[in-house]
Each structure stands twice: as C-alpha cells, then as structure tokens.
Amino acid sequence: MSYEGLVTRSIAFAVDAAVINLIAIAVGAVVALAISVLSVPDWLETALVAVGGAAYLLWSIGYFTTFWSTTGQTPGDRLMQIRVCRADGERLSAGRSVLRLIGLTLAAIPLFAGFLPILFDNRRRGLHDMLAGTVVVASASPAQTPAPA
Amino acid sequence: MPLPITSVTIWVMRPAATAITAVQRRVEDAMLGAVEDAVERAIAKGLVERIVEQLLREGIVERTVDRIFDERRVVDELAKRLIESEALWVLVDEIAQSPAVTEAITRQSVGFVDQVAGEVRQRSRSADARLERAARRALRRPV
C-alpha cells in the first residue's frame, strides 16, 4: 500500500482550493452584480456579506465532506491519483469527513505545524489523519489494512 | 456617264470578298469536323489513355508539375487565389467542425492534460521522497 506524501497532497489541496475559490468568485460576482443594480440599505448589505461568508464556509465544508465521504477523492485528489480512506481501507462517513476537515483547520493554525508529522509518520499521517483515523493512499493501489505506525 | 473608278472597284470586290468568306467558312467547318472525327476515333481506340500512360511513364507529367512548382510566381498566384476564394474557407469551416476533427482535437487535448498531470505526479512523488529523507536526516531518524 502506497501512502502519499506532503508535496503530492499539497498540490491536490491547492487544486481543490482553486476550484472552490473560482466557483465562489464566479457566484459572488454574479450575486454582487445583481445586487449592484438594486438600491439596498446598508444594514442589508452587511447582512448579505455575512450570508455570503456563511455560504462560502458551507460550500467549502460541503465540497470536502461530500467528496471524501462518497468517492474518497476530491477533484484535486483525482488529478494526483490519491484517495482518502479510513485506516482499514474503508470509505469515510460524513461525520468522519467533517472531523477530518476540523483537524485540517487545526493543523493549519500553528503555522501548518500540524502537517509536519506527514514527513515522519510511517503511514504519512498528519494531525487531521490521526484525529479522524484516516490515511491517504495512491488511488490505483487496493485498500489494505496498513501496518501499525 | 462613265463610272467612277471607286464604284467599279466596289462592284467587283464585294462579290469576291463574299465568296472568299464563304469558302473560308466551308474550309473551317470541314477542318473542324475532321479534327472532331479524329479526336473521337483517338478516344475510341484508347489513344488518349496510351498517351497519358506514356507521359506518366516517361515522367513528363512529374517534370511539368515540378516546373510549375519551381515557377514561384505560379504557386504564389495559386495560393493567393485559394486564400481569396470563399469556397476554401467554407471548406475549412466544414472540416474544422467535422466530428472526426473535433474528436481528434479533444483526444489530443485530453492526452496532453494527462501527460502534464502524469509528469506533475511523478515529480511530486520524488519531491516527497527527497523532503522526507531531508527531514529524517535533520532529526537523525533512520532514513
């Protein structure tokens, strides 16, 4: 079983970030243009910005959790031919996907230090993988029960 | 009253000219008929095919085509006329929109994207290995 490293996973994540942001920017631009022709009060504009922020957050969470819990691959993962699965090779549940995403955020907060274990762990797991009990493997290889770290 | 010299000349020359024209036409018709008959006979006997075969066999056609293409002016003129021709662009449009061409372009584009992605994957995996070796070395862990 081939576990995937930091560089490959970072590229996949960058592709996903690009997809998420491009779609969000496109949708945001359309909504902003539509609103620009209407005269809305200031409080409503503020409320719309807050709604936009919440929508962006939901969109990001939905993107990752949906792909991880269905195919195990986001578009970026697919491009890099990697797959997220449980340590026993099974597919992630929606709850575990959310947990992994929370772990991903936590790992990024201390200057991305949460990702450093990927460089040393036998199964190349980051903080978020340890938290959610997941591994990232090459999508071509069959899921197997990995050796304990 | 004596006839003036010009009137006499006209009186004599006009019928002569008419006669000459009639004879000329007859000769032309006869010659054309003969040529047509000869061409028909030549086609019927397969003479044209034999001539063409001989021209091809002796490389005369090839040499002639070479000479035409060597003559830069002819080629330039041909290219110019082709570019100016509306039919050419209609043909180009037709070809560009044909399913075979669009399919080939799509296949080539997908192939190119696959090739680039494959190269990125390969490089990222070797970068992973290098990075991990460096990290383990820095922490004095077994590589």
Q: Is B38 on the interface with A (CB under 8 A)?
A: no
Structure tokens at B67: 């000479």
Alpha helices for B45-98 (secondary structure H) = 47-57, 60-70, 72-84, 86-97
Q: Which parts of chain A sit beneath pLDDT 50? A: 141-149
B window 118-137, beta carbon within 8 A of A: 120-121, 124-125, 127-129, 131-132, 135-136
Detail the DSSP E strand segments found in chain A.
82-86, 134-138
Residue of B nearest to A10 (CA): B124
Domain ranges of chain B: 7-45, 99-143
Q: Does the beta-carbon distance from A120 to B128 stay under 8 Å?
A: no
Residue of B nearest to A77 (CA): B121
Backbone angles phi, psi at B39, to 5 degrees: -65, -45
pLDDT value for A144 = 44
Structure tokens at A113: 């230090």
Structure tokens at B52: 């063409």
**Confidence category of residue B143, pLDDT binned at 50, 70, 90:** low
Q: What is the pLDDT of residues B120-129, one digit of tens each?
A: 999 999 999 9
Terminal Cα-to-Cα distance of chain A (whole angstroms): 14
Residue of B nearest to A15 (CA): B117
pLDDT value for A147 = 43
Q: Average of pLDDT values for B74-91?
A: 89
Q: Does the beta-carbon distance from B129 to A5 stay under 8 Å?
A: yes
Distance (Å) from the alpha carbon of B118 to chain A's nearest alpha carbon? 8
Average pLDDT along chain B: 87
